[in-house]
Each structure stands twice: as structure tokens, then as C-alpha cells.
């Protein structure tokens, strides 16, 4: 998509129809929400989710928030305690994200959760995001629609300033009402924890102490396989399961054709497979450190780093 022109359409039935067609085609679309503009893609399609990272130039696979139309849809993707359910009922639709254990048969691509056993879920209030959820019929993974390292966009022209030429469509819904990302509260065991303060006040959730920080963007490693991982491997040792890329075939390949976007989409799935298999160790073929390959290598380096 890089180098193509980015269309802006005012929020309305035509924009939503065009956006839903792109979503079903596996493309990301920038869409207003009441917090900030999101870059939305089909959360059940790993290749579509990889395109979010490609467009943002995100240096690491932070897990993404999945947007759904209502609490019933949310409970198909995550497992809600009664406390999590009560907070969601109080604030949804709205600028609250809850992190809960991933449902056992969740259809969400593992790239969305960056391999974590938890999932961040939000029912948005903005009519454009709600219309897109309705028209596409898919759960939508959506980080803020800015290039990595830039501030979050609250207007369509902010989105264009950093993503022009990298995505096909921006839906213009005017200025975001909150202009600040959603409050994130984790219900993944013990007391609720405030992972990110935001528009919704949740007095019963306290920020984790620095020794228990769990917002994955802050962690040195938020996904590591249980087995030792060797990087830049060109052949397998006898105890290894080799994850190939390009010419290096391996036991399974990130992308036989050397497509980095395909490799990004398959990375977490193959690490899970390697962990579950019978070999004691994992090796991974070299991946070029360009474009989204940098994000792949960032995650691989964290996965191979010495464990605490």
C-alpha cells in the first residue's frame, strides 16, 4: 500500500460501505472513535493485523485493543469475572478497555494479543466505529492511527500527517470527543489493576507498582516461549525445531517466499507450535531487518533474551 494515495471520506453510509469492503479484504482503515482515531483491521485475520503494524511502522508487536459492538460479543473473545462484567456494564459503550483472560476458543489472531493469554476489549461509543463494526461483522483490532512514536490522532488530518500513502482510507468524523486513549483496567487475577489512566475514572483499580508493571509496551519481554530460542540459524541442531524463512525451509516457515508481512502474521503462531512440539529447543532463520522485519526481530530478540 505504501506510495498509494489515501482517500478521506466524511462519515456517512458511503464511507462505511467502502471501509467495510476494505476490512473484509484484509486492509486497515482509519476510523474515528470517541477517544482517538483508530487504525482498524479484522482481528480474526492475522495478515490484516500485520498490515496495521506495517502501516504504523511499529517497532514491536504490542498487543492491540479489540473493538466489539456489545458485551455479548466481548464474552465470546474473553472470559469475564463478575467484577469485570459489572465495570463493563457501567461504562460500555465508552472509553473503557478491560483486559481479561482470552476465551479458550477465541477466533482472534494470536498476533493481536502478541501471544499473551489475555485480551484487551472495548465497546466504543462513536457512531462511525459502531457502524463499521456492524457493516463489517468482524471484531476490529485498532491501535491509535498514528505512525509509531507520534502522538495519537484526534482529527482526520492528524492521521494523514503520519499515515498518508500508507493506508487506503480515512473516515473523517471531526474531532474525537475525548482525545485521550481509553482507560485500561486488567482483571486477570487478584485485584483490578489500572494499566492506563484515561477518560473513565475507576477508583477501585490501582496502578500496579513498578515491580509488577504489565502493560506489555513497558515490559522487556511480553512473550517468550518456554524453550530456549536460537536466532539467525541456517540449519537445525538435532534437538531443535527450526522456524524457516525464505530459502531456509525449516520444520515450518514464516514465509517460504520471503514476504515479511506474511512472516509477521505467522510469527506468534509458529512460536506457539514450536513450544508445543517434541523438540527441546527452537531455532529461527535470519529475517531481514527492514520494514516490519525490524518488528519481527525486536520480538525475536526479546523471546531469545535470558529469562529472569
Under the rule (CB under 5 A), what is the footprint of Mg ion?
144
Q: Binder to ligand TXA among 45, 62, 106, 297 (CB under 6 A)?
A: 62
Shortest distance (Å) from residue 157 CB to Mg ion: 18
Helix (H, G, I), strand (E, B) or coil at 101: strand
> Considering only CA atoms, which of 113, 85, 97, 35 is closest in space to residue 269?
113
Binding mask 35-54 for ligand TXA (x = CB under 6 A): xx-x----------------
- Considering only the stretches 11-19, 74-82, 112-120, 279-287, report the one whose residues sit in contact with ligand TXA under the rule CB under 6 A: 112-120
Q: Please, which of residues 191-230 interact with ligand TXA by CB under 6 A?
A: 195-196, 214-217
Could you check whether the bond before residue 93 is cis, i.e. omega within 30 degrees of 0?
Answer: yes
By CB under 6 A, is residue 162 in contact with ligand TXA?
Answer: no
CA distance 257 to 274: 21
Helix (H, G, I), strand (E, B) or coil at 174: coil
* CB-CB neighbours of 302 under 10 Å: 17
Contact pick of 41, 49, 65, 200 for ligand TXA (by CB under 6 A): 65
* Dist CA 218 CA 68 (whole Å): 26
- From the CB of 215, what's the least distance to ligand TXA, in Å? 5
Distance of CA 231 to the CA centre of its chain: 24
Residue 120 interaction partner, one of Mg ion, ligand TXA, none, beta carbon < 5-8 Å per kind:
ligand TXA
CA angle at 192 for the pair 191 and 193, rounded to the nearest 5°: 110
> Can residue 93 be called a binding residue for ligand TXA (CB under 6 A)?
no
Name the binder of 217 from Mg ion, ligand TXA, none, CB < 5-8 A by kind.
ligand TXA
Which of 132, 149, 147 has the alpha carbon at shortest distance from 32? 132
**What cell numbers appear for 272 in the block?**
506457539
- Where does this chain bind ligand TXA (CB under 6 A)? 33, 35-36, 38, 62-65, 97, 99, 113, 116, 118-120, 122, 142-144, 181-182, 184, 186, 195-196, 214-217
Amino acid at each position: 500500500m505504501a506510495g498509494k494515495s489515501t482517500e478521506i471520506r466524511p462519515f456517512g453510509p458511503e464511507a462505511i460501505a467502502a471501509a467495510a469492503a476494505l476490512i473484509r479484504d484484509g486492509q486497515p482503515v482509519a476510523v474515528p472513535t470517541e477517544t482517538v482515531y483508530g487504525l482498524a483491521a479484522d482481528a480474526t485475520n492475522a495478515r490484516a493485523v500485520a498490515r496495521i503494524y506495517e502501516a504504523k511502522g511499529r517497532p514491536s508487536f504490542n498487543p492491540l485493543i479489540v473493538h466489539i459492538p456489545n458485551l455479548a460479543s466481548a464474552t465470546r473473545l474473553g472470559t469475564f469475572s463478575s467484577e469485570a462484567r459489572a465495570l463493563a456494564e457501567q461504562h460500555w459503550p465508552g472509553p473503557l478497555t478491560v483486559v481479561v483472560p482470552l476465551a479458550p476458543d477465541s477466533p482472534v489472531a494470536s498476533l493481536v494479543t502478541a501471544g499473551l493469554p489475555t485480551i484487551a476489549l472495548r465497546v466504543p461509543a462513536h457512531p462511525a466505529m459502531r457502524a463499521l463494526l456492524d457493516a463489517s461483522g468482524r471484531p476490529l483490532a485498532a491501535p491509535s492511527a498514528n505512525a509509531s512514536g507520534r502522538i495519537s490522532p484526534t482529527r482526520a488530518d492528524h492521521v494523514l500527517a503520519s499515515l498518508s500513502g500508507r493506508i487506503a482510507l480515512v473516515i473523517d468524523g471531526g474531532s474525537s470527543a475525548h482525545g485521550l486513549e481509553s482507560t485500561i483496567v486488567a482483571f486477570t487475577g487478584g485485584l483490578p489493576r489500572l494499566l492506563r489512566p484515561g477518560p473513565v475514572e475507576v477508583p477501585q483499580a490501582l496502578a500496579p507498582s513498578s515491580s509488577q508493571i504489565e502493560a506489555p509496551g513497558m515490559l522487556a519481554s511480553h512473550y517468550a516461549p518456554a524453550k530456549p530460542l536460537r536466532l539467525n540459524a541456517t540449519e537445525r541442531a538435532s534437538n531443535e525445531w527450526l522456524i524457516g524463512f525464505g530459502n531456509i525451509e525449516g520444520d515450518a516457515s514464516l514465509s517460504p517466499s520471503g514476504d515479511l508481512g506474511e512472516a509477521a502474521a505467522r510469527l506468534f503462531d509458529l512460536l506457539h507450535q514450536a513450544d508445543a512440539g517434541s523438540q527441546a529447543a527452537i531455532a529461527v532463520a535470519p529475517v531481514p531487518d527492514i520494514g516490519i522485519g525490524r518488528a519481527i526481530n525486536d520480538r525475536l530478540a526479546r523471546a531469545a533474551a535470558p529469562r529472569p
